[in-house]
Chains A and B, each alone.
Chain A
Amino acid sequence: MKSKEILKILHPTIEIFYAFFSIFILIFLLLYLSDANFSLAFKGFVNSSIGGRNNAYLFSTFSKMALISGMAIAALVAFRGGLFNIGGEGQLVVGGFACAFTGLLVSDFGFIGILISIVSGMLAGATWALLSGFLTVYMGVPLLVGSLLLNYPARFITSYLVSHPFRDVQSGLPQTFLLSKNIWLPYFPNTRLDLGILIIFFVYVICLIIFYNTKHGYHSKNMGHSLSYVKLSGLPTKKIVFNTLALSGAIAGIVGSIAVLGIHHRFTDGMLVQPLYAWTGIIAALLVNLNLWFVPLAGFFFAAIYTGAAGMERIAQVPKEIATVIQAVIILFVVGKLGSLTNLSSSKGDKDD
């Protein structure tokens, strides 16, 4: 009996050790498979996630953090309302393309041009999210698969648009023309870090206000807890669904716009899909158990893993996909705490029958 009680008290600690131990064994195995020099790999990882000359790598971590946190907020907004919108990828891509397209048209307006293109990115992202909302509410399609399947049209249509009608043929790649310099997001003085992170911080604050100080945030949270309660209270559930999804999609669109205006300055086919920004965002939102306050931390954590792994590839020839593997394993170990999500999704008919 005694030993059982002690085990019970120690259980969380053992769990944490178990998780860390497994992750370390996994990293060790993966590094061993790629014949890496361990100390070199470790040095490369630390140096390029938070170090570098004039902190250059730290700033690149920050710029990745902006995108990942943004996508995490977009996912979190929907999940919090019990809406399993995993179509963030499509919303991100559509937003990014719309922003690049408008950016080319309004490149003479300077600051106002930046605003217009970001707004158009927002609108495109929100439209794409509303489309999946429409399918869910009026057609009875489960949001989980509906939003996911809309990723593919978004990806292929933008891919078509940038490789045929709007292609910069001379660059040789499927991408749009380079935006003119006066519509790029300005950099922080003496760095290569653009102002995108400030915009994401602004979005973060707005979302905090919406979550904790507005009627919509309150209703949306209640819907996440219990749909039938919200329905029985006579609240307009459809309106809440559409508002929540529009907010989620608009944030994804902003993230796409920042990637276009701040980092790449054009829309290249696959530039937002390949780094798995949307999926990393979803994972980051789940890592913090849908608590908005900690999203920047999770975003920084995952961004640091990404840039660290990129550094490891440069220095020790370890493929950078190790970051993706580590993220997946981390979320697997965190996932045991999230039993409530199933209840949310099954009550919405996602589980079918």
Chain B
Amino acid sequence: MTEIFDPEFFSSIARLTTPILLAALGGSICHRAGIFNIGLEGFILLGAFMAVLGSFFANSAFVGALTAVFGGLFLSIIFAEFHLRRKGDPIVISIAINILALGLSTYLLRSIFKVSGVFSHPEIEKIPHIQLPIIENVKILDLLINDQSILFYLSIVIVFILHYFLKYHKFGLWIRVVGENPEVLKSSGINPVRIKFLVLLLCGLLCGLAGAQLSISNVGLFVENMSAGRGWIAVVAVLLCGGRPIPLFLLIILFGLVDSLSLRIQGLGLPQQITELLPYIVCLAVLIIVSYKKLRTFSRIIY
């Protein structure tokens, strides 16, 4: 047991939770605004690639995070162009965006860096980590949340900001109204399409940061198809929580916990494929339990 629960395990929870959390927060505002965005996987992937690109050429983690955000915004604008202006189906656009991001990141990886598979370089600057001297004396907090990348603290702050923003701020109210009934907003003189566009941009920004956390926070490398299903886990979390930030946060901590657990139990001699499968199994299990409960309570039998 001590092999699993060593200090490395506790510090990896926050590291693995952050990308899923940031992406899921982006997905949750989309969900609240009535945009069925299941392309988070693609957003993260392109963000991760752009982060490495920016960090490598500018030698600065800040520029890396900035380019990652641009990558996310780029996909957001594509999503908005085809969903809001051309009235395309959001599911199909999401599928197309996932494929586009996969193709584009691999293509650019091979044409710019002339490598295939993995790109890593010492010149890729990593996002700085923060030491909090206040909690250094509390052992468990020190292990859990000290010495993490800036984006981790940022994501925690965003959870609560988003919660209050959606609940009490005027713009948050507009977002919720767009999701429930866009006509109401139209009749009060606000263009729902504009709100949706802003929401998509915000989602792109958050997902870009998620990608940056994935690629340049701890490791400083990019692997083909690096997001590896994390975007889908985020989508499931958003669906399960109905886009509410606080339950989302708790659920994603669970997923992050399982994710880091699966990394640790590889040391016990279990085959790698089985341990990698663990997060998806837990995700599926939570999905089944919650859906079944919903089915029983609301007796929403579909077929």
- Do these two chains really belong together in a complex? yes
Give residues in A with beta carbon < 8 Å to B: 30, 33-35, 84, 86, 135-137, 139-142, 144-146, 148-150, 152-153, 156-157, 159-160, 163-164, 227, 237-238, 241, 276, 279, 282-283, 286, 318-319, 321-325, 327-329, 331-332, 335-336, 338-342, 345, 348-353
**A144, A152, A163: the one within 8 Å of B271 (CB):** A163
- Indicate if B292 sits at the interface (CB-CB under 8 A): yes
Say whether A149 contacts B236, CB under 8 Å: yes
A146 cross-chain contacts in B, Cβ below 8 A: 284, 287
Give the nearest-CB partner of B242 in chain A: A353
A276 to B99, CA, bound (A): 9
Question: What is the minimal beta-carbon distance from A239 to any residue of chain B, in angstroms?
Answer: 10
Report the bound CA distance from A341 to B90 in whole Å. 9
CB–CB A152/B229 < 8 A:
yes
B110 — which chain A residues lie within 8 A by C-beta? 34, 319, 321
B111 in the interface (beta carbon within 8 A): yes
Please judge, given known A-B contacts A321-B106, A349-B300, whether A149 and B111 are in contact too, CB under 8 Å: no
Residues of A within 8 A of B239 (CB): 142, 145, 352
- For B279, the closest partner residue in chain A by CB is A152
Residue B58 interfacial (CB < 8 Å): no
Flag if B277 contacts A135 (CB, 8 Å).
no
Q: Which of B90, B102, B277, B303 contacts A342 (CB 8 A)?
A: B90
Q: Verify if B232 is at the interface (C-beta below 8 Å from A).
A: yes
Query: Is B9 engaged at the interface, CB distance under 8 Å to the other chain?
Result: no
Given contacts A157-B273, A276-B99, contact A331 B92 (CB under 8 A): yes
**Known interface pairs A141-B287, A142-B239, A352-B239. Does A160 touch B273 (Cβ–Cβ under 8 Å)?**
yes
The docked-state distance in angstroms from the alpha carbon of A327 to that of B108 is 16
Q: Report whether A336 and B287 are in contact in the complex, using a CB–CB cutoff of 8 Å.
A: no
A109 and B287 alpha carbons, distance in the complex (Å): 44
Question: Which chain B residues have a beta carbon within 8 Å of chain A's beta carbons?
Answer: 31, 36, 38, 78, 82, 86-93, 95-100, 102-104, 106-108, 110-112, 116, 229, 232, 235-236, 239, 242, 271, 273-274, 276-277, 280-281, 283-284, 287-288, 291-292, 294-295, 300-303
A319 to B38, CA, bound (A): 27
Query: Is the beta-carbon distance between A135 and B92 smaller than 8 angstroms?
Result: no
Instruction: Report whether A136 and B303 are in contact in the complex, using a CB–CB cutoff of 8 Å.
Output: yes
A279–B95 CB distance below 8 A: yes
Min distance, Cβ B213 to any Cβ of chain A, angstroms: 22
Contacts of A279 in B (CB 8 A): 95, 98-99
20 A/B residue pairs, CB under 8 Å, sorted by A: A34-B110, A144-B91, A145-B232, A153-B277, A163-B273, A276-B102, A283-B95, A318-B111, A319-B107, A321-B102, A323-B103, A325-B103, A325-B107, A327-B99, A328-B100, A331-B92, A335-B86, A335-B93, A338-B88, A351-B36
Residues of chain A within 8 A (CB-CB) of B104 are: 321, 325
B102 to chain A: which residues have CB within 8 Å?
276, 321, 324
Please report the C-alpha to C-alpha distance between residue A160 and residue B266 in the assembled complex, in whole angstroms: 14
Q: Is the CB of B303 within 8 A of A141?
A: no
Task: Pick the residue among A148, A237, A286 that contacts B232 (CB under 8 A).
Answer: A148
Shortest B40–chain A CB gap in Å is 12
B277 to chain A: closest residue by CB: A156
Given contacts A324-B102, A351-B36, whether A332 and B271 have CB atoms under 8 Å apart is: no
Residues of A within 8 A of B103 (CB): 321-325, 327-328
Q: Are the CB atoms of A335 and B88 closer together than 8 Å?
A: yes
